[in-house]
Amino acid sequence: MRTREASRAATTTQSRAAARAGAEVASRMVAARAGRAGSASAKGAPSAQDGCAAEGQTAAQAERAATLDESGAKGIAAKECGRSGMQGCAERGDESERLETDAGFAAALRAEALKGRRGAPRKIALLMPLPFCLMGALAGGIGGGGAVGAFSTYGWNWWYALPLPIAIALIATSVANLDARQKLRPVLGLPVPPARTWWAKTAYALSLVFAANLVVLAASILVRALGGAAPGALAGFATAAMLTAANAWAVPASLALATRFGSLAGIAIPALAQLGLGIGLWTSPWWFLFPPTTALVAVSPLVGVAPSGVPLAPGDALGAFGWETAAGLFVALALFAALAAAGARWYAGREAR
């Protein structure tokens, strides 16, 4: 920024100097024309005309230079492009396009947040975890005397094993219905590409899923601060982040199904897939290939309980992180990226028709 301001200040100074030079040249032109009219000879007339022509060109150049003071950045950019070549101009054009895209995405994301400010998505994210937070607080024994596992079982495990998949489907379906119920007319009226709106919906729904997990984290920290048995803040935050990443694939799936087939499909299909695969395959040695199972197994070392809710015994294989955890999170994020990108292409085509 300082370099640009210094460049603009130098350019303004040069422009003013050029304007003064132009005024001086114009004065000399007037004097030369007066002398030529009074006492110029036939032999000296051509040279005087040539001098006046040269001075006229200089004055015109000075006047063009003086216009830089008003055109400013555009003239400077043009000169820089001329000096640095097409590559520099292309780089600045790419940066300008990127900034415009980022601004458009931010505006679309704010629009989604405003549409859902008093709607169902926020209420689901904030209210649905509360019963499990209360059960975890009671089992954790505020003030001491909590059961083994306590908040980890009744707060965290009962939350992410059963209600979380349903909450994700409900949140994503509610976000989709903000426009789907009006046959996407609000989206059609926006001066942004439909794919950008899709990504904004996906990001908004995913942020609400993370917020729902943070509600449980806040309750866990409170219970621990009051003397109850609960995971620490760092372990709890890692649990919330891993649960969001492992379950992220369900967000674009629910968005697409709810937009295309209605609310029932957007809720039932992803939720049943998560519950069925997660509960049925967590004992498989290949659990990391299935994101619903990763959501149950990967957080076990953090909360200290198995996917079934039973506290882990010392030396249990589920109590340590291994390469399977990293592989499971990678598969889950790759599936999310693939579904989100495919949904963006489908959404753009749907809007084009």
Residue 179 has pLDDT above 50, yes or no: yes
Burial label for 189, CB within 10 Å (0-12, 13-18, 19+), is: exposed
SS3 72: coil
Residue 174 has pLDDT above 50, yes or no: yes
Give residue 131's pLDDT band: very low, low, confident or very high (50, 70, 90): very high
- Comparing C-alpha atoms, which of 211, 197, 204 is closest to residue 172? 204
Helices and strands (H and E) in the chain: how many = 18, 0
User: Alpha-carbon distance 129 to 168, whole Å?
Assistant: 12
Question: What tokens does 26 get?
Answer: 């114009």
Give residue 191's pLDDT band: very low, low, confident or very high (50, 70, 90): low
Global pTM? Answer: 0.69
Residue ranges of alpha helices (H) inside 40-85 are 45-66, 68-71, 73-84
Q: Give per-residue burial for 136-168: e unless 16+ CB within 10 Å, then b.
A: bbbbbbbeeebeebbbbbbbbbbbbbebbbbbb
Contacts of 115 (CB under 8 A, 6+ apart): 178, 179, 186
CB 220 within 8 A of CB 156: yes
What is the per-residue pLDDT for 11? 44
Residue 5 has pLDDT above 60, yes or no: no
- Comparing C-alpha atoms, which of 224, 221, 177 is closest to residue 201? 177
Query: Mean pLDDT: which of 37-46, 92-101, 299-308 is highest?
Result: 299-308
Give residue 144's pLDDT band: very low, low, confident or very high (50, 70, 90): low
- Comparing C-alpha atoms, which of 211, 251, 239, 210 is closest to residue 325? 239
What Å distances lie between residue 140 and 2, 134, 344, CA to CA? 57, 10, 44
Element (H, E) at 270: helix 263-281
Percent pLDDT > 90 in the chain is: 44
